[in-house]
C-alpha cells in the first residue's frame, strides 16, 4: 500500500516540476524576450521535444483520415489527424485549429445572365467610333454671373458713401422764405448746400479666397466703374487678402494693379469717409472674423465708424461686429439708400444668435433644383437664385454646402450619395419646372465640352423618367476611344472618367456602357483584385478582362477558414473511390462547396452582415411572412442549439470587391459569410454549426456532411445547395435541372441523383422535364397516371398558434425530408382503380373522378396488385410529412392558395368559408381530379374533394426536428389529409389532420400514390425539445389528466378526443 502511495507521490512531483518549469520558462521569456529560448531552457533543465517529420515515408492517408470531423463526444480528435504529404506544386492551405474552424455551406445560387464567348465584343461597341480630338477640349469662356446690384442703382450709393456736403456763398432763399413764414428769425443766413466727392476717401475690398471664390467678379467689377465715376485722386483703394505674409494690398493707378504693402495701413481720419466691401467673415468661421474685428477696433480708437457694404443678409450678422460699423446688405432684393444717415446711426437689427448656413432652407431649395447639374458655377447659381427670388444668403449657403466639393473655382457634387439626397426634391418639382432647369442648363453650359453636357442630359433623363439615346452613343464612343492607346483624347478621358464614376448613381451602373468604361479605366487593378467596386456595381465587364480561351470549370473549396478556386480537372470524383479495394487517389485539398464557370477574369466578393446568431444551426429559412411567425414560435420551444439561424437572404454590409481567380490567392471567409459572383452564377455562403439532432458534422473532399442516428447506427446526409447540381461528372439530364431549395440529402439518394438513376425512371412509360420540374408517367390498360418529382427539403409542419381553426394536434415543428420522392399529380381515379382491381366501389361514378369508399386496407391491396402489374414501380402511400410538404408547395399559409380559399379553387361546402372569404357553391359531390387548379408543383386538389389516406399511424407530433418521419410503428387509426367535398373550409387546411380506422370506407375517403424509398425514423426517434423555463402557459385539465399516462395511452386518448370532435361536427 505504501509502495503504491510512494509511486503516486513520485509521479505527482514529476508533473508538478514539469508545470513549474514551463511556468518559469514563460516568466523568463516575458522578462527577456530577446534571449535565446534554448539557453533559458538549459538553465531550467528542460529539454526540447523533437518535432515529427511531416514528410516521413508513410502509407498514403485513407479517405477517413482526410475527413475534417468535429465529433460531439471527442472534440479534440482533429488534433490527432496525420499531416498530409507535400505536393510538387503546393496550394496554400491554412493551418487552423479545428476548434476555431467554421463550416460553410452554399445557401443560395442565383443564375446570372448568359455571357457571350470570352473576348467577344458586343455590337454596340463595334458600332462605336473614336471621339474627335476637339470634343474633349478645355472649358470655353463662361458667361459672367448677373451682378448683385445693377450699376444704375449702385452709383448713387457710392456718391453718397464717398462724398460730402459743403456750403456755397449764395444764400439759400428757399430756406429763408420758409423760416420767415414760420415767424422765425435765423441767427445766420443759410447758404446753399451741394454734394460733392470728398477730397480724400478710403475703400477696402475683401479679396480673401473664401470671399472671392463666389463674389470675386462682383468685387473686382467695382474698381474700374468707381475710378471712372470718382477719379483716382485722393482715393485710397485698399485690398485685404487672407495671405499669412503681407495680407494688405494698395491699388497703383500708374500700373492699374494692386501692390503688396509691408505694413498694415492706418484707418482714415474721423472726418473722412471710409467704405468696406466685405461680409466681415460673417459667412465664415471665427478665424475669418478675427482680422475684421481687429480692424474695426482700430477704427473705433481713431474715432472712425466705417460704412460696410456686406454681401450677406442680416440674419448672418454678428452683433459684436455691427456695433462698431454701419452695415448695409449688398443684394438685388435690398435697395441701397441714396442719402445715408449720420455716422452715429445704427445698423439694421442683428439677431442674438446668427443663423446657421447649414440650415438655410433657400440653399436646400437651390440644391434640389441643381440635382441634375454636373458643374455648378457662380453664374448658374446666381441665375437660378434670382429666378427663384431668393436672397444672397441662400446663394452663399448653397456654395458652402457640405454636399458640394470645390474644383477649380466651381462646385461639383461630392459623390453620388450627396446628389441622391437632393434628387427626391427635384422629382417633386413637376415637369414644367424640370423643363425650365433643363433650358437653363442648356443656355449656361452650351460652351462646355460634350461629355459634361451629355452627362447632365443623362441625369435629367434618369430623374425625369426619360430616355437619352445620344448619351449611350457617346459613352460607347468614349469606351472605344479609351481602348485605343494612340488616341489623343485618352489621357483627358481618363481624368474625366475618374470624376464620372465617383458621381454615378447606383442605379446607373445597370448601363453596360458605364460598366465597360469603369472596367477599361481600372483593368489592371481589377485583374489583380485590388479594387472595391462602386456602390451599385456588382461585376465588371468580363469581356474586357478575358482572353480568347474557353471558360473553365473551377471547384470552390473550403480550406480552413479560407476559400480557394481550384481547377476541376485536378479534383477527382470522391464518390468513385468508396471501395477500399480500389487504390486511393492523391489527397485533395479542401472540401468541395460548388463549381463555377470562370475565365482569367476575377471573381467578385461581398461580405454578409453580421447577425446576432453568427452560426446557423438549422437547414432552412422561412419562405413567407407567416412562416417567419411560425418559425419564431418554434424557436421559443426549441433549445438554443436547435434554434434556426439567420436567413440566406441577409443584406450585405459592404461593396463588392474584385479577387483574382488564382488558386494561390485564397479568399478570407468572414464570420457571417459572403456572396461570391462568378461568370455565370452568384453563390451565397453562410456558416453552419452542428445541429443538435446530428451526431457529428464534418467536411471531406466531397463537401459538407452530417451523421444522424438511424436504426441503431448512423446515416450520412450531404448538404446540397440550390441551383444547378454541384458535381460536374454526372448524367447529362441532371445538368438541365435546377434544385429549388437548399437541404440535407441522404448520401445514397444524392448519389443516385447525380448518376441520373432517379430521373431516368425505368419503371415509367414516359418521363421528361417541363416548367414545373421532372415528371414521369405509367399506364395500366390505357389509363395514364402522371407522377411529379418532389425535391428533398426542410419545412415547417403543423400550424402556428395564431392560425384560425388550429387543432391541438397540429404542433409546429421542423421536418427534414432527405430523400426526394414521386407523388401522383392527382388522386387515384376510378378508371385506374377499375383497371387494376376490376370493380368500382365509388358513390359518385365517373372515370375521371377520384375513387372513394375505399378503406386503407383496400388501398394496400390495390398498391400490391399495381406493383405486380407495373414492374419496378414500387408504389406506396405518401407519409403524412410527404403529403403536407407536397400540399404546401413551399407556402406557409393555411392553404397553398393563400390565407383563404374559394369554391373556384377547392371543392368544399361553400356555405362555410374560411376567414373573410365570401360564400360559394356547395356541389354536394366529387368533381373530376383535374377540374380545379393545381398548386405550384403541379399537384391537383390537395385541398378538398376527397380525404386522402396516408401511410402513417396516427400519433402526436414531436416538438423537435424530425428526419423523414414515418409515424409510430403501430396504432389503431390511420391518418387522412386534405379535406373533402362535404367539409367546411377550415377542415381543408394544409395542417388539418383526420383519422379513420384502416377498415373504414366512406364516400369522402380516397388516396394518392407515391413512390420512393422509406428510410426515415418513426415518430419519437428524435429527442423532443424541453419545455422553455420561462413558459407562461398553464397546464390544462386535459394535460393534467394525461400526466400519468404512457405515450401509447396518450396517443389513444388523443384519438378519442379527435373522434369526439368529428362526431359532433357531422351531427351538426
What is the domain-level CATH number for residue 275?
3.40.50
Q: Which of 724, 757, 790 marks a domain boundary?
A: 757
At 570 the pLDDT is 55
Which of 323, 340, 355 finishes a domain? 355
User: Higher confidence at residue 1039 or residue 220?
Assistant: 220
Q: How confident is the model at residue 84 (pLDDT cuts 50, 70, 90)?
A: very low
Residue 421's domain comprises 359-541
Q: Which of 536, 565, 533 is nearest to 551 (CA)?
A: 565
| Pairwise CA distance, residues 51 & 54, whole Å | 9
Q: Give the pLDDT score at 57.
A: 38
> Which DSSP string do the residues of 395-427 spell out, in sequence order?
HHHHHT-TTEEEETTEEEESSHHHHHTTHHHHH
Q: Are residues 497 and 552 in the same domain?
A: no
Q: Is 942 a domain residue? A: yes
Give the number of other Cβ atoms within 10 Å of residue 1028's Cβ.
Answer: 13
Cell 503516486 maps to which residue? 8
pLDDT value, residue 662: 78
Q: Is the pLDDT of residue 802 over 70?
A: yes
Distance between alpha carbon 851 and the CA centroid of its chain, in Å?
51
Q: What integer pLDDT is reported at residue 760 of this predicted model?
A: 74
Question: Does residue 282 share a domain with residue 223?
Answer: yes
For residues 444 and 132, is the Cβ–Cβ distance under 8 A? no
Question: What's the DSSP call for residue 256?
Answer: T
Pick the more confident residue, 46 or 81.
46
In the block, cell 460531439 appears at 72
C-alpha cell at position 12? 505527482
Does residue 856 sit in the same domain as residue 957?
yes
Residue 1067 has a pLDDT of 45
Residue 189 · residue 171 · CB < 8 Å: yes
Q: Are residues 564 and 470 in the same domain?
A: no
In this structure, are residues 327 and 282 in contact, taking their beta carbons and an 8 Å threshold?
no
The pLDDT assigned to 614 comes to 39
Average confidence (pLDDT) over 618-646: 42
Using the Cα atoms of residue 29, residue 31, residue 36 and residue 39 in order, give the sign of their dihedral: negative
Q: What is the pLDDT of residue 24?
A: 64
Instruction: Give yes or no for residue 777 having a pLDDT over 50.
Output: yes
The most distant pair of C-alpha atoms in the chain lies apart, rounded to whole Å, by: 146
Is residue 166, in this structure, part of any structural domain at all?
no
Q: Higher pLDDT residue, 141 or 828?
A: 828
Nearest to 701 by CA among 59, 64, 67, 60: 67
Q: How many helices (H) and strands (E) does the chain have?
A: 29, 38
141/587: higher pLDDT: 141
Q: Are residues 552 and 463 in the same domain?
A: no
**Helical packing angle, 392-399 and 209-220, nearest 10°:** 140
The answer to whether the CB of 1024 falls within 8 A of the CB of 967 is: no
Any idea what the Cα angle at residue 770 is, between residues 765 and 776, rounded to 5°? 20
Residues near 214 by beta carbon (within 8 Å), at least 6 away in sequence = 378, 381, 395, 396, 399
Cell of 373: 447639374
CB of 66 closer than 8 Å to CB of 587? yes
Query: Helices marked H in 484-614 — which ranges?
Result: 490-502, 512-521, 523-528
Bridge partner list, 705: 698, 718
3-state per-residue secondary structure call for 644-710: CCCCCCCCECCCCEEECCCCCCCEECCCCCEEEECCCEEEEEEEECCCCCCCEEEEECCEEEEEEEE
CATH number for the domain harbouring residue 983: 3.90.1580.10
Which residues lie closer than 8 Å to 774 by C-beta, 6 or more apart? Answer: 737, 759, 767, 768, 788, 789
Shared-domain flag, residues 711 and 854: no
Residue 552's φ and ψ, nearest 5 degrees, are -120, 150
| 757 or 614, higher pLDDT | 757
Angle, CA 1004 vertex, CA 998 and CA 1005 arms, to 5°: 30
Q: What's the chain's average pLDDT?
A: 78
pLDDT of residue 1 exceeding 60, the answer is no
Q: What is the pLDDT of residue 740?
A: 83
Question: Dihedral (C-alpha) 776, 780, 781, 783: value to the nearest 10 degrees?
Answer: -50
Mean pLDDT score, 909-932: 94
For residue 526, the tally of other CB atoms under 10 A from its CB is 25
Q: Residue 809: which pLDDT band, with cuts at 50, 70 and 90?
A: very high
29: left (phi over 0), alpha (psi -120 to 50) or beta: alpha
Coil, strand, or helix at residue 948?
A: strand
Candidates 507, 563, 568, 545; CA nearest to 679 is: 545
CA 284, distance to chain mean position in Å, is 40
Check residue 286 and give its pLDDT.
Answer: 87
**Is the domain of 979 the same as that of 830?**
yes
pLDDT given at position 1027:
31
Q: Are 90 and 54 in contact (CB under 8 A)?
A: no
Burial annotation 486-507 (CB, 10 A radius, 16+ → b, else e): ebebbebbeebbebbbebbbee
Judgement on whether residues 646 and 535 belong to the same structural domain of the protein:
no
The predicted pLDDT at position 112 comes to 79
Which residues are within 8 A (CB) of 827 and not within 5 positions of it... i.e. 6 or more apart? 850, 851, 929, 940, 941, 945, 946, 948, 1006, 1007, 1008
For residue 702 the three cell numbers come to 466531397
Residue 648's pLDDT band, with cuts at 50, 70 and 90, is very low
Say which DSSP state 965 is in. Answer: B
CA distance 213 to 542: 44
Q: Considering only CA atoms, which of 10, 197, 107, 28 is closest in space to residue 673?
A: 107
| CA dist., res. 952 & res. 975, Å (int) | 6
878: pLDDT strictly greater than 90 = yes
State the distance between the two ends of the chain, measured CA to CA, in whole angstroms: 85
Question: Of the candidates 698, 726, 757, which is a domain's last residue?
Answer: 757
Cβ(84)–Cβ(61) under 8 Å? Answer: yes
893 shares a domain with 966? yes
Beta bridge partners of 767: 776
Among 935, 937, 931, 936, residue whose Cα is nearest residue 903: 931
The answer to the question of residue 616 being in a domain is yes
* Cβ neighbours, 10 Å, residue 550: 9
- Is residue 469 assigned to a domain? yes
What is the structure's pLDDT at 1064? 45
**Angle CA(167)–CA(171)–CA(172) in degrees, nearest 5?**
85
C-alpha cell recorded at residue 43: 538553465
If you average pLDDT over residues 684-691, what whole number do you get? 88
pLDDT at 399 over 90: yes
Question: Is 137 a member of any domain?
Answer: no
Q: Is the pLDDT of residue 702 over 70?
A: yes
Do residues 44 and 106 both lie within one domain?
Answer: no
Identify whether residues 654 and 675 lie together within a single domain.
Answer: yes
What pLDDT was estimated at residue 48? 57
The torsion defined by the Cα of 957, 958, 963 and 966, in degrees rounded to 10, comes to: -40
pLDDT score for 205: 94
Nearest to 683 by CA among 694, 662, 669, 695: 669
Q: Are 539 and 559 in contact (CB under 8 A)?
A: no
Which residue matches cell numbers 470675386? 216
Percent of the chain with pLDDT over 70: 75
3-class secondary-structure state, position 641: helix
- H-helix or E-strand containing 753? helix 747-754
| Edge-to-edge strand ranges of the sheet holding 657-659 | 103-111, 681-688, 674-677, 603-607, 657-659
Retrieve residue 71's grid coordinates: 465529433
| HSE (side-chain half, CA atoms, 13 Å) at 450 | 16
Percent of the chain with pLDDT over 90: 34
Q: How many residues does the chain have?
A: 1068
For the stretch 383-392, pLDDT in tens is: 999 999 999 9
Q: Number of folded domains in the chain?
A: 6
How many C-beta neighbours within 10 Å does residue 868 have? 10
- Check residue 193 and report its DSSP letter: E
How distant, in Å, are the alpha carbons of 28, 41, 47, 882 from that of 36?
11, 9, 14, 68
Query: Does 829 share its domain with 707?
Result: no
Confidence class for position 951, pLDDT limits 50, 70, 90: very high
Task: Please state whether beta strands 235-240 and 201-206 pair in parallel, antiparallel, or not at all (unpaired).
Answer: parallel
Name the DSSP letter for residue 316: G
Q: Which of 852, 1012, 1008 is nearest to 940 (CA)?
A: 1008
Position with higher pLDDT, 651 vs 633: 633
pLDDT at 19 over 60: no
Average pLDDT over residues 7-12: 48
Its pTM stands at 0.64
Over residues 655-678, the pLDDT tens digits come to 788 888 777 788 888 888 889 888
Q: How far apart are CA 465 and CA 467, in angstroms?
A: 7
Dist CA 248 CA 263 (whole Å): 8
Whole-number pLDDT of residue 42 = 58
pLDDT value of position 568: 62
247 domain residue, yes or no:
yes
Q: Which residues contact 853 (CB under 8 A, 6 or more apart)?
A: 841, 842, 843, 1001, 1002, 1003, 1005
Distance CA 1042, CA 160 (A): 106
DSSP secondary-structure letter at 631? H
Whole-angstrom distance, CA of residue 576 vs CA of residue 884: 36
Amino acid at each position: 500500500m505504501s509502495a503504491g502511495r510512494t509511486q503516486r507521490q513520485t509521479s505527482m512531483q514529476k508533473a508538478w516540476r514539469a508545470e513549474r518549469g514551463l511556468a518559469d520558462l514563460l516568466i523568463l521569456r516575458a522578462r527577456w524576450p530577446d534571449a535565446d529560448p534554448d539557453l533559458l531552457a538549459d538553465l531550467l533543465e528542460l529539454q526540447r521535444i523533437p518535432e515529427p517529420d511531416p514528410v516521413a515515408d508513410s502509407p498514403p492517408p485513407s479517405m477517413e483520415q482526410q475527413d475534417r470531423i468535429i465529433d460531439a463526444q471527442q472534440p479534440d480528435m482533429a488534433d490527432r489527424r496525420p499531416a498530409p504529404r507535400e505536393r510538387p506544386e503546393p496550394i496554400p492551405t491554412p493551418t487552423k485549429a479545428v476548434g476555431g474552424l467554421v463550416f460553410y455551406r452554399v445557401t443560395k445560387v442565383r443564375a446570372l445572365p448568359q455571357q457571350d464567348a470570352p473576348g467577344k465584343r458586343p455590337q454596340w461597341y463595334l458600332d462605336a467610333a473614336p471621339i474627335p480630338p476637339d470634343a474633349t477640349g478645355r472649358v470655353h469662356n463662361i458667361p459672367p454671373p448677373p451682378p448683385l446690384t445693377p450699376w444704375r442703382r449702385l452709383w448713387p450709393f457710392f456718391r453718397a458713401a464717398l462724398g460730402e456736403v459743403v456750403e456755397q456763398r449764395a444764400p439759400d432763399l428757399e430756406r429763408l422764405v420758409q423760416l420767415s413764414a414760420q415767424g422765425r428769425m435765423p441767427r445766420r443766413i443759410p447758404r446753399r448746400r451741394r454734394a460733392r466727392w470728398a477730397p480724400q476717401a478710403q475703400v477696402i475690398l475683401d479679396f480673401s479666397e473664401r470671399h472671392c471664390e463666389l463674389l470675386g467678379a462682383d468685387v473686382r467689377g467695382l474698381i474700374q466703374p468707381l475710378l471712372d465715376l470718382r477719379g483716382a485722386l485722393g482715393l485710397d483703394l485698399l485690398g485685404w487678402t487672407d495671405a499669412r505674409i503681407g495680407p494688405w494690398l494698395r491699388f497703383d493707378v500708374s500700373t492699374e494693379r494692386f501692390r503688396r504693402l509691408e505694413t498694415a495701413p492706418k484707418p482714415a481720419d474721423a472726418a473722412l469717409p471710409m467704405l468696406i466691401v466685405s461680409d466681415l467673415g460673417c459667412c465664415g468661421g471665427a478665424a475669418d472674423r478675427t482680422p475684421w474685428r481687429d480692424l474695426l477696433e482700430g477704427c473705433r480708437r481713431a474715432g472712425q465708424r466705417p460704412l460696410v457694404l456686406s454681401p450677406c443678409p442680416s440674419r448672418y450678422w454678428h452683433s459684436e461686429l455691427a456695433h462698431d460699423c454701419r452695415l448695409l446688405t449688398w443684394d438685388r432684393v435690398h435697395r441701397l439708400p441714396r442719402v445715408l444717415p449720420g455716422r452715429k446711426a445704427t445698423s439694421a437689427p442683428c439677431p442674438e444668435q446668427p443663423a446657421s448656413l447649414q440650415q438655410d432652407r433657400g440653399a436646400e431649395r437651390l440644391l434640389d433644383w441643381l440635382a441634375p447639374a454636373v458643374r455648378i458655377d457662380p453664374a448658374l447659381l446666381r441665375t437660378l437664385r434670382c429666378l427663384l427670388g431668393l436672397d444672397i444668403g441662400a446663394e452663399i449657403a448653397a456654395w458652402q454646402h457640405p454636399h458640394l466639393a470645390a474644383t477649380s473655382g466651381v462646385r461639383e457634387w461630392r459623390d453620388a450619395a450627396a446628389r441622391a439626397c437632393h434628387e427626391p426634391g427635384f422629382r417633386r418639382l413637376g415637369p414644367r419646372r424640370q423643363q425650365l432647369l433643363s433650358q437653363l442648363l442648356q443656355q449656361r453650359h452650351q460652351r462646355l465640352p460634350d461629355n459634361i453636357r451629355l452627362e447632365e442630359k443623362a441625369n435629367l433623363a434618369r430623374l425625369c423618367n426619360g430616355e437619352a439615346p445620344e448619351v449611350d452613343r457617346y459613352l460607347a464612343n468614349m469606351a472605344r476611344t479609351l481602348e485605343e492607346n494612340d488616341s489623343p483624347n485618352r489621357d483627358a478621358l481618363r481624368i474625366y472618367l475618374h470624376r464620372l464614376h465617383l458621381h454615378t448613381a447606383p442605379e446607373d451602373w445597370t448601363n453596360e456602357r458605364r460598366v465597360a468604361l469603369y472596367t477599361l479605366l481600372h483593368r489592371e487593378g481589377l485583374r489583380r483584385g485590388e479594387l472595391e467596386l462602386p456602390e451599385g456595381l456588382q461585376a465588371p465587364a468580363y469581356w474586357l478582362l478575358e482572353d480568347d480561351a474557353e471558360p473553365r470549370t473551377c471547384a470552390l473549396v473550403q480550406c480552413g477558414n479560407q476559400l480557394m478556386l481550384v481547377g476541376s480537372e485536378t479534383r477527382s470524383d470522391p464518390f468513385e473511390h468508396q471501395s477500399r479495394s480500389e487504390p486511393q487517389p492523391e489527397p485533395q485539398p479542401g472540401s468541395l462547396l460548388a463549381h463555377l464557370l470562370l475565365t482569367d477574369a476575377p471573381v467578385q466578393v461581398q461580405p454578409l452582415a453580421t447577425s446576432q446568431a453568427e452560426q446557423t444551426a438549422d437547414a432552412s429559412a422561412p419562405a413567407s411572412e407567416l412562416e417567419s411567425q411560425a418559425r419564431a414560435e418554434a424557436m421559443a420551444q426549441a433549445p438554443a442549439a436547435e434554434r434556426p439561424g439567420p436567413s440566406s437572404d441577409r443584406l450585405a454590409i459592404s461593396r463588392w470587391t474584385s479577387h483574382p481567380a488564382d488558386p494561390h490567392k485564397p479568399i478570407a471567409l468572414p464570420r457571417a459569410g459572403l456572396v461570391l459572383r462568378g461568370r455565370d452564377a452568384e453563390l451565397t455562403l453562410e456558416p453552419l454549426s452542428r445541429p443538435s439532432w446530428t451526431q457529428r458534422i464534418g467536411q471531406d473532399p466531397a463537401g459538407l456532411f452530417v451523421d444522424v442516428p438511424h436504426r441503431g447506427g448512423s446515416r450520412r446526409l450531404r448538404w446540397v445547395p440550390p441551383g444547378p447540381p454541384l458535381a460536374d461528372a454526372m448524367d447529362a439530364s441532371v445538368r438541365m435541372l435546377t434544385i429549388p431549395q437548399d437541404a440535407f440529402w441522404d448520401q445514397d439518394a444524392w448519389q443516385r441523383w447525380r448518376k441520373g438513376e432517379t430521373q431516368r425512371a425505368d419503371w415509367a412509360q414516359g418521363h421528361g422535364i417541363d416548367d414545373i420540374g421532372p415528371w414521369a408517367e405509367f399506364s395500366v390498360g390505357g389509363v395514364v397516371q402522371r407522377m411529379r418529382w418532389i425535391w428533398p427539403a426542410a419545412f415547417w409542419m403543423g400550424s402556428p398558434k395564431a392560425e384560425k381553426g388550429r387543432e391541438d394536434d397540429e404542433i409546429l415543428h421542423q421536418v427534414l425530408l432527405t430523400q426526394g420522392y414521386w407523388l401522383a399529380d392527382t388522386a387515384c381515379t376510378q378508371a385506374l382503380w377499375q383497371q387494376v382491381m376490376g370493380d368500382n366501389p365509388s358513390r359518385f361514378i365517373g372515370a375521371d373522378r377520384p375513387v372513394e369508399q375505399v378503406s386503407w386496407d383496400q388501398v394496400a391491396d390495390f398498391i400490391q396488385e399495381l406493383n405486380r402489374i407495373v414492374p419496378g414501380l414500387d408504389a406506396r402511400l405518401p407519409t403524412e410529412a410527404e403529403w403536407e410538404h407536397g400540399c404546401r408547395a413551399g407556402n406557409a399559409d393555411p392553404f397553398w392558395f393563400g390565407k383563404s380559399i374559394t369554391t373556384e379553387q377547392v371543392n368544399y361546402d361553400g356555405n362555410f368559408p374560411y376567414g373573410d372569404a365570401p360564400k360559394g357553391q356547395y356541389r354536394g359531390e366529387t368533381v373530376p381530379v383535374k377540374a380545379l387548379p393545381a398548386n405550384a408543383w403541379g399537384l391537383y386538389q390537395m385541398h378538398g374533394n376527397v380525404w386522402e389516406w396516408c401511410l402513417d399511424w396516427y400519433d402526436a407530433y414531436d416538438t423537435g426536428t424530425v428526419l423523414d418521419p414515418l409515424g409510430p410503428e403501430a396504432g389503431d387509426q390511420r391518418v387522412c389529409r386534405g379535406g373533402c367535398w362535404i367539409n367546411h373550409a377550415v377542415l381543408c387546411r394544409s395542417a388539418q389532420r383526420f383519422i379513420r380506422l384502416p377498415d373504414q370506407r366512406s364516400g369522402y375517403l380516397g388516396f394518392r400514390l407515391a413512390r420512393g424509398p422509406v428510410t426515415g425514423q418513426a415518430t419519437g426517434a428524435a429527442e423532443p425539445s424541453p419545455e422553455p423555463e420561462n413558459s407562461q402557459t398553464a397546464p390544462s385539465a386535459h394535460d393534467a389528466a394525461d400526466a400519468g399516462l404512457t405515450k401509447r395511452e396518450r396517443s389513444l386518448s388523443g384519438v378519442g378526443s379527435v373522434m369526439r370532435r368529428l362526431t359532433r361536427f357531422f351531427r351538426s
